[in-house]
């Protein structure tokens, strides 16, 4: 009998990255923020990647910023935005430019300007090139600032949403509320949907702050420097960061930040990510209410807050439960075989993980939501 030997290896990977809200970002100077575009110690070569809409509006300022920092760079790679561009083909295009420019594994981070899609495709390109190169993210949309710029996960769509992905956070992430001033109102609502999710699932103090000051902040595109508007942004980012760092690789599939992300993938071909998150969360609120996890008064507060923020309360995509059930089944496959749907629980900032949602229960929740939004 041949003697067998077995060795067990255990290794730990430490991750450190920063996320900053910095007014006046495009006017920054290396004397004040020397590390804004990555460490200046070993190389000033960088490959800039810019969303095409961002380039049209801020391209000259970005190029001036690169010049002030004496960055050695090729012409920025301008990529399309939107979910249709979140594909392996876009990542392949980025890889070709990385190869042409000669991006090394260390010391020359990609510089990525854009919303969530830009960060996903460029982050995935960074993760899969030379087994991982660094990048710095600059979020120019509200949803990018709240949900994407500091995320560990990056992904592209391949037959299904986010089917190919990796854990590869930026070394640093920045945003400036001034970017939000020129966003279309629909883009503001898209990001507000993520803030709404955070208030329900992660931060008990954010919920009443939104009830009192959210409608004004949304109407002003978060441009006011008052403490309440800044607190809404800071609390949203901080709550998401706490959630991510506590379970970075999702070894525990129970994750409160998955609130609004169980049936929403089925909606996103028709509506935006933020809108889908809101509708998903409203549906699960109705399920939680029927199961006794949410009181009628808190249920109504959740719906009222969504309404006051101008968020969608209903869409025709909810009239076809089949795709929603398919999305729920796929979410369960992603979560170790259980649905583990994060739903509101008793009060703001708390969730309960639901299992066993079937077609009948989902249908009843859809009826309940339709009735609730029709009453007002």
120 close to 94: Cβ distance less than 8 angstroms: no
323 close to 240: Cβ distance less than 8 angstroms: no
Q: Among residues 143, 147, 150, which one has the least CA distance to residue 112?
A: 150
Q: Among residues 295, 292, 290, 318, which one has the least CA distance to residue 374?
A: 318
Residues 6+ apart with CB under 8 A from 353: 254, 340, 341, 342, 343
Phi, psi dihedrals of residue 219, rounded to the nearest 5°? -60, -30
> 296-308 and 206-219 are packed helices; what angle lies between their axes, rounded to 10 degrees?
20
Q: Examine the residue annotation and report whether 86 is marked as an active-site residue of this protein.
A: no
DSSP string of 53-80, one letter each residue: HHHHHHHHHHHHHHHHTT-B--S-EEE-
Tokens 């994407």 appear where?
148
- Provide the CA 365 distance to its chain's centre, in angstroms: 26
Q: Which of 86, 153, 161, 197 is catalytic?
A: 153
Query: Which sequence positions are flagged as catalytic?
Result: 153
């Amino acid at each position: 009998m041949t003697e067998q030997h077995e060795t067990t290896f255990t290794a730990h990977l430490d991750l450190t990255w920063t996320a900053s809200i910095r007014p006046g970002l495009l006017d920054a100077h290396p004397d004040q923020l020397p590390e804004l575009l990555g460490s200046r110690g070993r190389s000033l070569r960088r490959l800039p990647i810019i969303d095409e809409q961002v380039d049209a509006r801020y391209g000259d300022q970005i190029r001036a910023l690169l010049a002030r920092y004496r960055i050695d760079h090729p012409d920025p790679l301008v990529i399309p935005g939107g979910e249709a561009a979140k594909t392996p083909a876009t990542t392949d295009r980025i890889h070709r430019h990385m190869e042409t420019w000669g991006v090394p594994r260390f010391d020359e981070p990609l510089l990525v300007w854009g919303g969530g899609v830009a960060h996903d495709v460029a982050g995935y390109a960074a993760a899969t090139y030379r087994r991982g190169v660094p990048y710095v993210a600059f979020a120019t949309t509200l949803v990018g600032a709240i949900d994407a710029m500091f995320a560990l996960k990056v992904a592209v769509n391949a037959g299904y949403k986010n089917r190919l992905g990796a854990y590869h956070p930026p070394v640093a992430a920045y945003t400036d509320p001034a970017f939000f001033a020129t966003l279309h109102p629909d883009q503001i609502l898209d990001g507000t949907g993520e803030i709404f999710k955070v208030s329900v699932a992660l931060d008990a103090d954010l919920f009443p702050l939104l009830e009192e000051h959210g409608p004004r902040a949304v109407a002003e595109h978060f441009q006011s420097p008052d403490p309440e508007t800044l607190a809404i942004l800071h609390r949203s980012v901080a709550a998401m960061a706490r959630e991510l760092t506590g379970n970075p690789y999702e070894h525990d599939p129970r994750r409160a930040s998955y609130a609004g992300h169980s049936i929403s993938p089925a909606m996103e071909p028709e509506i935006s990510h933020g809108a889908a998150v809101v509708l998903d969360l409203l549906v699960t609120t109705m399920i939680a209410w029927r199961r006794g996890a949410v009181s009628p008064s808190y249920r109504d507060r959740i719906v009222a807050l969504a309404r006051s923020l101008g968020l969608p309360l209903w869409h025709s995509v909810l009239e076809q439960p089949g795709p929603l059930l398919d999305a729920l089944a796929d979410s369960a496959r992603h979560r170790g075989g259980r649905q583990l749907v994060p739903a509101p629980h008793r009060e703001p900032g708390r969730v309960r993980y639901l299992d066993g949602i079937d077609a009948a229960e989902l249908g009843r929740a859809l009826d309940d939501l339709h009735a609730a939004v029709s009453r007002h």
